Amino acid sequence: MASLKEVRNRIVSVNSTQQITKAMKMVAAAKLRRAQDNIMQMRPYAQKLGEMLTTVSSGAESAVDSPLKTVRPIEKVLIVVVTSDRGLCGAFNTNIVKATLLLIEQKYSAQAAKGNVEIFAIGKKGAESLAKRGFVVNKTYMDLFGRLNFVAVKQAAEEIMKAFSDGRYDAVDLVYNEFKNVATQIIHTDRYLPIATEDKTTRTKTAEVNYIFEPTEEEILAELIPKSLKIQLYRSVLESNASEQGARMTAMDKATENAQELLKELKLVYNRTRQAAITTEILEIVGGAEALKN
């Protein structure tokens, strides 16, 4: 059985840890509120922009020639992985890394065997984990959450689009967590480039309406396609940011509860140890008194 001093030291240590986890939970809750507001405001805009792109591209009489729509045999692949810069958020980062590895195994195993799969990391944890597994990682934007705004994400999207247009990559996929609620995040593995083209047979009734475009449909699409891709990446980063704060809040709440349970057990051990020590002292005193009588 541990000594009273050891048990007291453990109780103090667990108390300190519990205070830290409580504080981290409160900080994560405050950040979550802001991140949740940001993503709720972004979702309708991103959805409407996607609808506009579909409507214009479906109604266009002639196909718009864009390098971002070019479909090539897939030889080189870029995977954009969105994780967090810090840990202590449960399995948030681990699940994204697992999803990335599963995507590579199921879809790009041949390219990976040739060393033609590269990682574009947004978030330090994903960059570090995948670099340890031998992947080539572009770490230019891995600390993007420290300066999270549309301008920073726009620069990252432009770099990705330029690399695809120049033929450095034949396919670009996006892996991120979508925010559902505080306790639930949904992992998405979406095709980012080349952009999907709308099939004539799948046009909606809205797309069949005759619109008058000013300027031309081609000019509108030439502007909408890059803008839509930038907004898509920005939305993914905002989704991941909200998911991270929700995961951290949940993890810190569980850690606080576990610390409370551990404190109960330690206090019980402390009381038992103290009782045993007192009983031993009483027995020694009684034994000494009996020895003096004899």
Catalytic residues: 89
Element housing 81 (H / E): strand 77-82
Angle at 260 between CA 256 and CA 266, to 5 degrees: 140
The residue among 25, 43, 95 whose CA lies nearest residue 239 is: 43
Distances (CA, A) of 64 to 58, 164, 215, 223: 11, 17, 14, 11
Distances (CA, A) of 261 to 14, 19, 99, 264, 269: 10, 14, 33, 5, 13
Interstrand relation of 77-82 and 136-138 (parallel, antiparallel or unpaired): unpaired
Rounded Cα–Cα distance for residues 113 and 63 (Å)? 36
If one counts every other C-beta atom within 10 angstroms of the C-beta of residue 17, the result is 16
Distances (CA, A) of 151 to 231, 254, 275: 11, 36, 65
Interstrand relation of 77-82 and 117-122 (parallel, antiparallel or unpaired): parallel
Q: Which residues contact 173 (CB under 8 A, 6 or more apart)?
A: 77, 78, 79, 80, 103, 107, 189, 190, 191, 192
The residue among 64, 40, 79 whose CA lies nearest residue 181 is: 40
Q: Which residues contact 216 (CB under 8 A, 6 or more apart)?
A: none
Q: Is the peptide bond before 194 cis (omega within 30 degrees of 0)?
A: yes
